Chains A and B, each alone.
Chain A
Amino acid sequence: MTIERKLLKKDSVEKLFAKLKADGRRILAPKARGEEIFFEEVSSASEMARDYIQTTLSAKGAVFPCCEALLKYTLEGKDIKIQDPQEPKPTVLFGLRPCDAASFAILNSVFSWDYNDSQFRNRMKNTAIIGVSCAKADEYCFCTSVGGSPGDTKGSDILLTQLSSGDYLAEIVTDKGKEIVALAPELFEAAPSEDKEKHLANVPVKFDLNQLMQKLPAAFNNNELWLEQSLRCLGCGACAFVCPACVCFDIQDEAGKEGGKRLRCWDSCGFSLFTLHTSGHNPRPVQSQRWRQRLMHKFSYFNDRQKFIGCVGCGRCSRLCPADMNLLEHLKAIAEAK
């Protein structure tokens, strides 16, 4: 499908929000809460956070929530009534960075791999993504090293790039994007011929992905490497939980006398309990092995199975790590090792 270019005036964003709401869609957009920025429901474009590089959590929670009920049941005498989860509300995710937009294909590759996860798929089906290109980046950003770019249309249904005038160049990427344009065709005007590239952040390529992927399998047994990289790792789940592409979960049953629910909760390979067997044996007893797993999974196993890299280079894991584990630095070290 060819990408159609349109102009969305700065003042038209609010009008677009009104049209989306009138169509029965909720809008999730970056909203500031103190110093942190989260994707939350907004009723007006004026509620959105401005001038930031990246949101605190990614937008993955919109399709893969931190905690969600897979089923609920109630007990009435000897009867068990099972309630299926509610149909998700039509949603527009607004203001995602292109790296975050790209992460949905990664999530999808897992949730439709050996089992077709209807709950995830329903949410995806009901979600449209309006991304916004990056005008700024920091030293933690490395989308260009993992196949993305600050103006990448991949993953967005519509991608907006802010031009010098403050207006947006709107690239209509998918049919879902076209449906949104059809809700308010008058807001999408003829596009200027302006080159979008000059409005994008400069994110230099920081390592050679192929080189990294070639070296990783042999690095597996280099215990010293993993130990040296991870001695300061505290073993929390912050990196996995802020990651837009981390997909591991845990199932919890919460049961009471009158009923209960089965919950899917985010989990992390960085936790010591992640691989603990009922017998007491733990195949990854130390943190260095868990760190190795994190890297190997994202940059080696994931590609073998899903033909994707499990990382979009958003840099959140490193920006927010309490021990300053810097993923980019460690990937570079492996890629460039003799």
Chain B
Amino acid sequence: MEELRKKARELLTSGAVKVIIGYGKGSGPKARAIFVRKPEQTDQLIFNDQCLQNLAVYLTKPEVKALGKPAIVAKIPALRAILQLAAENQLKDEDLLALGISPEGKLVELASLKAIEDFLAGLSLELTGEEKSLLEKIEKMSPEERWNFWQDQFKKCVKCYACRASCPMCYCERCLCECNQPQWVPVASHQIGNLDWHIIRAMHLASRCVNCGDCARACPVGIPLNLLNQKLAEEVFKQFSARAGMKAAQEYALCNWKLEDKENFIR
């Protein structure tokens, strides 16, 4: 933690960055995102096991962008989100500095997208055993059981869009679900509206989700939305051997096609 504060102080003092997007003390035991702009405030930065949020979500927020170039405290999913955002032309190499945190909790200064790529290349981005066994539990259900499981979950949804707002990959200025000429997805939070919303979101995140789990953590009614995204990520990996957020310039399944595709529908 001291190392992180020291680095942050240096970066702000030298003017290399204008803001540190990091974690600070939150309510009770919680940690929360803080935006440190003065060297003397770097002592507010913390890092512990409560630092869960994927801070990359703030990189595309207009009011955070207006603060100037950031250095961002980034755990693995945030680093992946940075690369995926770069691959989707949402940020460029010179836009930020990453203060990476390794799985062991060590600070790794990553000054370029290339450095992030190299750092991630040495890590396993597979699902953890626990994540895998949860997914398997759902896969083992009969189609009917699975349908009922998700219907039961989606019934709780009130369409507060916390899943979307907390997702670093949901940066669209105007979400498809808010287009009303024509209206593709019902706005109302009824059975069809909820189902449509969650399926469309999952499809739009296929090959893009960096598995931070913030959608599920953000959901006030406890829908395990990350399971949908993990499932699609695994399917994409099986089909295309690619994972989201590995390279700053990477083609990703959702936005890519090839004339020689073995399926006919694309032609």
Contact = CB atoms under 8 A, between A and B. Distances in A.
A36 B217 CA distance: 13
Contacts of A235: 165
Contacts of A66: 158-159, 189
A9 B221 CA distance: 33
A250 B27 contact: no
A201 interface: no
Interface residues of B, number: 38
Contacts of B53: 322-323
Given A266-B159, A322-B166, A326-B26, 5 more contacts: A34-B222, A236-B165, A254-B188, A265-B159, A265-B188
Contacts of A320: 220
Given A140-B27, A263-B188, A265-B189, A288 B220 contact: no
Top 7 nearest A-B pairs (CB, nearest first) are A322-B218, A236-B165, A324-B32, A234-B165, A237-B160, A236-B162, A324-B26
A20 interface: no
Interface stretch (A120-128, A162-170, A238-246, A306-314): A238-246
Contacts of A265: 159, 187-189
Contact of B162 (A57, A234, A287): A234
A18 interface: no
A65 to B, nearest CB: 9
A139 B28 CA distance: 8
A184 interface: no
Contact of A329 (B27, B31, B188, B193): B27
B204 interface: no
Interface string B222-257: 100000000000000000000000000000000000
B220 A287 contact: no
A140 B30 CA distance: 13
A193 B193 CA distance: 53
A35 B153 CA distance: 12
Contact of B222 (A36, A250, A286, A318): A36
Nearest to B215: A322
A79 to B, nearest CB: 26
Contacts, number: 109
Nearest to A316: B220
B188 A241 contact: no
27 contacts: A33-B156, A36-B221, A38-B221, A56-B222, A57-B158, A57-B220, A66-B189, A139-B28, A231-B33, A231-B35, A231-B64, A232-B32, A232-B34, A235-B165, A237-B159, A237-B162, A238-B220, A250-B187, A252-B186, A252-B188, A266-B158, A286-B62, A320-B220, A322-B165, A324-B26, A324-B31, A326-B26
Name which of B30, B64, B161, B166 has the most chain A CB atoms within 10 A of its CB: B161
Contacts of A273: 178
B33 A232 contact: yes
Contacts of B27: 139-140, 318, 324, 326, 329
A153 interface: no
B218 A287 contact: no
Contacts of A38: 156, 221
Nearest to B190: A67
A144 interface: no
Interface in A244-267: 250, 252, 254, 263, 265-266
Contacts of A329: 27
A323 B33 contact: yes
B92 interface: no
A236 B62 contact: no
Nearest to B164: A236
A119 interface: no
B186 A236 contact: no
A133 interface: no
A240 B165 CA distance: 14
Given A234-B165, A322-B214, A240 B160 contact: yes
B146 interface: no
A241 B160 contact: yes
A181 interface: no
A271 interface: yes
B226 to A, nearest CB: 13
Nearest to B175: A273
A149 interface: no
Contacts of A300: none
A43 B158 CA distance: 24
Interface string B30-64: 11111100000000000000000100011001111
The listed residue with most B CB atoms (<10 A of its CB), out of A56, A234, A288, A324, is A234
A288 B165 contact: no
A140 B193 CA distance: 32
Interface in A39-61: 56-57
Given A56-B221, A238-B220, A324-B27, A231 B160 contact: no
A89 B220 CA distance: 28
A178 B172 CA distance: 54
A57 B28 CA distance: 21
Interface in B69-103: none
A234 B166 contact: yes
Contact of B61 (A237, A266, A287): A287
